[in-house]
Amino acid sequence: MAKVNYITEAGLRKLRAELDALKAERPVISAQIAEARDKGDLSENAEYDAAKEAQGMLEMRIAKLEATIAGARIIDESKLNTNTIQMLNRVTIKNINLGKTVEYTLVSENEANLKEGKLSIGTPIAQALLGKKRGDLVEVQVPSGVLKLEVLDISI
């Protein structure tokens, strides 16, 4: 049974585009393998080995994307609210230990990008924040110790 992946419409479009691009690479790699095979002895043919390895990596990535897309469930953004923290909410939190305030949008693992402020729902911080309200204090166990966070704001 496929793992369920909650994702936005835009995130699913991006995954499908990446899958289409990878599938388009198949003929290119097949041609590289054929060309390398035509060069003779396969036991000492580094080009052939490299092309076969590239093909294996490509097929592995395609299979992973197909599984992710098969298990994708689009989040109905019209049903989001800001009473408690949930996926796709933008949260402003204060790290009490450092006195630093940060803002994240909680997204699926496939859409996570810290440079864009998109925090994966699977991270310990996001897991600890789920269901919390404005003003709640949250303690999160992370590799460097315990983070103490305060929820300042929840928005869409």
Domains of the chain: 5-74 (1.10.287.180), 77-155 (3.10.50.30)
Using a 10 angstrom Cβ sphere, with 0-12 exposed, 13-18 middle and 19 or more buried, the burial of residue 60 is: exposed
pLDDT per residue as tens digits for the range 68-118? 888 888 877 777 778 899 888 999 999 998 999 999 999 888 888 889 999
Dist CA 66 CA 62 (whole Å): 6
pLDDT digits (tens, 9 = 90+) for 11-55: 889 899 999 999 999 999 999 888 888 877 766 778 888 888 999
H or E element at residue 118: strand 118-120
CB 55 within 8 A of CB 33: yes
Please tell me the distance from the alpha carbon of residue 151 to that of residue 156, in angstroms, as a whole number. 15
